[in-house]
Amino acid sequence: MRLEAAGVRFAYRKGEDVLRGVSFAVEEGEVLFVLGPNGCGKTTLLECLAGIRRPTAGAVLLDGADVHVLAARERARRIGLVPQLHEPAFPYTVLEMVLLGRAPCLRTLARPGPEDRREAERALEAVGIAPLSDRSFTTLSGGERQLALVARGLAQGARVLLLDEPDAHLDPFYQGRVLGVARELSRAGASVVLSTHDPTSALSHADRVLFLVRGTASPVAAPVEAITGATLEAAYGVPFSVLQGEDGERAVALRPRSRGTPLAPGA
């Protein structure tokens, strides 16, 4: 499905816009990375896209239809949000946690049945953590938790997945695994919007990249065009080098202000 933000504005308090007219679109099968400093409005943007927060102006369109006009459960069957990691209050099993994704597909008084269980198990297989289904969610590592929450989004039946800093606090192995799963899902037809603080993973995993700085979005562009020393410095206010290896792979490094030039020709 095509998800489009059309001039989205949002303010928690009147007159203090957190989002100042953000416009972009994610096509089916595409992974869009949102980069930007802390407090730039990434989480707010994702919550607006998910339909949890109603923009003060502008609209979020799903295949051309306003998501805030859809009934909450209709919307939740199409758009899944994976929030930033937090400690859950109770030790739900992984399967129970993923089954909660079936909530929008069930009538108010209904409880999940065998079919919902199968959907949840399929979702766990899709992200590659089926063997963990009886484990307590609280005993999982950060990376496993993140994958379980992605599975919960899949169990919703969502064709649009919004992931809020899914690679934060993860080791390089799980960073790669979570982002790889996001990419696989997009290849299977999902539209993925993912916020991150890691420009290098954007270079390797994104189809397109958007910078969000103080509530204003840059035009969407291919990663190699979007991520340069200049755009990164403009976003974060510190100097960066974009390095390129012999195989053409690029990586981003923070440049100490006092030191010299990039090791390899930067972009």
Instruction: State which of positions 41-70 bind other proteins (CB under 8 A).
Output: 47, 50-52
Closest distance of CB 79 from other proteins, Å: 7
Rounded to 5 degrees, φ, ψ at 171 are: -75, 165
Answer for which of 7, 91, 131, 219 binds other proteins (CB under 8 A) is: 91
Closest distance of CB 158 from other proteins, Å: 9
Instruction: State which of positions 186-245 bind other proteins (CB under 8 A).
Output: none
Rounded to whole angstroms, the Cα distance separating 108 from 98 reads 18
Count of residues binding other proteins (CB under 8 A)? 33
Alpha-carbon separation of residue 250 from 199, 244, 253, 258 (angstroms): 10, 4, 10, 23
Rounded to whole angstroms, the Cα distance separating 231 from 79 reads 30
Rounded to whole angstroms, the Cα distance separating 111 from 41 reads 36
Answer for which of 90, 187, 246, 256 binds other proteins (CB under 8 A) is: 90
- The residues, any chain, with a CB within 8 Å of residue 87's CB and separated by 6 or more, are 138
Phi-psi label, residue 248: left if phi above 0, alpha if psi -120 to 50, beta otherwise: left
- Identify the burial level of 132 via C-beta atoms within 10 angstroms of its C-beta, where 0-12 means exposed, 13-18 middle and 19 or more buried: buried
Residue placing its CB nearer to other proteins in the complex, 86 or 259:
86
Closest distance of CB 199 from other proteins, Å: 26
Closest distance of CB 90 from other proteins, Å: 4
Residue placing its CB nearer to other proteins in the complex, 134 or 247:
134
Answer for which of 39, 88, 189, 245 binds other proteins (CB under 8 A) is: 88
Closest distance of CB 88 from other proteins, Å: 7
Q: Does 257 bind other proteins (CB under 8 A)?
A: no
Q: Does 13 bind other proteins (CB under 8 A)?
A: no
Q: Does 72 bind other proteins (CB under 8 A)?
A: yes
Q: Does 125 bind other proteins (CB under 8 A)?
A: no
Phi-psi label, residue 113: left if phi above 0, alpha if psi -120 to 50, beta otherwise: beta
Q: Does 168 bind other proteins (CB under 8 A)?
A: no
Q: Does 108 bind other proteins (CB under 8 A)?
A: yes
> Is the CB of residue 183 less than 8 Å from the CB of residue 31?
yes
Q: Does 76 bind other proteins (CB under 8 A)?
A: yes
Residue placing its CB nearer to other proteins in the complex, 104 or 199:
104
Q: How far is CA 78 from the centre of its chain?
A: 15
Residue placing its CB nearer to other proteins in the complex, 104 or 143:
104
* End-to-end CA separation in angstroms for the chain: 33
Could you tell me which residues are beta bridge partners of residue 31?
192
Q: Does 81 bind other proteins (CB under 8 A)?
A: yes
- The residues, any chain, with a CB within 8 Å of residue 152's CB and separated by 6 or more, are 80, 82, 97, 98, 100, 101, 123
Which positions lie near other proteins, rule CB under 8 A?
47, 50-52, 72-77, 79-81, 83, 86, 88-93, 96, 100-101, 103-104, 108-112, 138, 156
